[in-house]
Amino acid sequence: MANQQNLKIREMIEENRKTVTVKSMSEKLVPKLLLIIALISIFTTVGIILTLLTETVHFFREVPFLDFFTGTRLAPLGANAQFGILPLLTGTVISSTIAMFVAIPVGLMSAVFLSEYASENVRKTLKPLLEILAGVPTIVYGFFAFTFVTPLLRSFIPGLAPTNILSPGLVMGIMIIPMIASLSEDAMSSVPNAMREGALALGSTKLEVTFRVVIPAAISGIIASFVLGISRAIGETMIVTIASGSSKNFTFDLTQSMQTMTAYIVEVTGGDAPAGSTLYYSLYAVAMTLFVFTLIMNFIARYVSKRFRQGY
């Protein structure tokens, strides 16, 4: 009897040893696996940067750096090709500015309503419906801008061109609204109720609490949502490709056709640019400029978030 008990105890000990061995192996392997997964994104980013830098250097060997960033004429085809990026920069900045004039007020006011005025049931219903806009493919927005918004605007603005920068800018603003509204609402919802209750106890109205207490307390998250929205607008491709046309005009007239950096990249990649040509390398120079733009926006968002972040 004693031998049987000793045998069972030995078996239990062996099973425990096997279990401990498996657990220790998994504890050693999982961190390494997670490290590999984390490094994949880093290596991907490094690869993108190296690719852009390498090809961009080839471009600037053929086109002077100053001519590229100060030139007002972009005519990549023909014997006397010119590669001034200012028409693309102007189109990108104007379309993004129009988008933010639409997205910031609508998105922020939507966030204020959802956070401060809507009941729990209304918030649970409206917020998912609002975020559905973020799931609509951008090419659908592009055709919406070209076939609906532009004809509608032309009935009010007779001089509006069939392809223009105003229409895609407005539609991009509609597309960005869910991002700004959702992130701003999350920032405002994180403000402690004690701050609201304290302001109300001092005699403040609901509106005063919202604009003098809640929004200032959540300003870091709100500004970060604005900057991320601008980055999204700068990098938008299909809407401007379809609705703004391919005219490389250096103008500030919103009714005229203009081209953005992303639309130019689509045009060159979809055309007959032979590998190794100046036109081919210009694709990477514009892409590198776009990359720097969005990188700056991300740095600004991180700085603002850290600079104005408040802990509760």
In tens, the pLDDT along 40-55 reads: 888 888 888 888 888 8
For the chain, the structural domain boundaries read 2-62, 85-308
3-class secondary structure, 114: helix
Question: What is the identity of the amino acid at 96?
Answer: S
pTM, rounded to two decimals: 0.82
Q: Using CA of residue 59, residue 64, residue 69, residue 70, what is the dihedral sign?
A: negative
Q: Under the phi-then-psi rule, with left for phi > 0, alpha for psi from -120 to 50, and beta for the rest, what region is 78?
A: left
pLDDT tens string 73-106: 888 776 677 888 888 889 899 999 999 999 999 9
Q: pLDDT digit string (tens) for 173-222? A: 999 998 898 888 888 888 888 888 888 888 888 888 888 888 888 888 88
Which of 90, 70, 238 has the alpha carbon at shortest distance from 168?
238
Q: CA of 199: how far to CAs of 178, 183, 193, 207, 211, in Å? A: 29, 24, 10, 11, 11
Residue 229: both structure tokens together: 């929205």
CA distance 71 to 218: 42
CATH number of 85-308: 1.10.3720.10
> Can you give the pLDDT at residue 238?
85
